[in-house]
Amino acid sequence: MLLTTREVAKRLGVSGGRVRRLIYEGRVRAIKIGGRNLIREEDAHFERKRNYPRLVSHHPPPIKSEEGR
């Protein structure tokens, strides 16, 4: 069964843009038909098993001074 990027995004709990990025990076196989990327259902399940790191701040939290106590 072939799925659209929107259907795959919904199943994986990510955005459609994230699915398109994974296709562009070659991490998800897709077939382009009529301008639409179609993904085999088996390939969508493969990506679900991977863990993606969450974005974290590169700035450490401010240090509380001793004077503020």
pLDDT given at position 57: 46
The reply to whether 29 falls in a domain is yes
- Indicate the angle between helix axes 16-24 and 5-12, nearest 10 degrees: 110
Domain with 43, as residue range(s), is 2-48
Separation CA 3–CA 48 (nearest Å): 14
What is the pLDDT, as a whole number, of residue 36?
92
In this structure, is residue 15 part of a structural domain?
Answer: yes
- Predicted confidence at residue 37, as pLDDT, reads 93
Overall domain count for the chain? 1
Q: Is residue 11 part of a domain?
A: yes
* Sequential pLDDT tens for the chain (69 residues): 999 999 998 888 889 998 898 888 888 889 999 999 999 988 876 544 555 544 444 555 566 666 655
Q: What is the pTM of this model?
A: 0.61
Token digits for 15?
């955005």
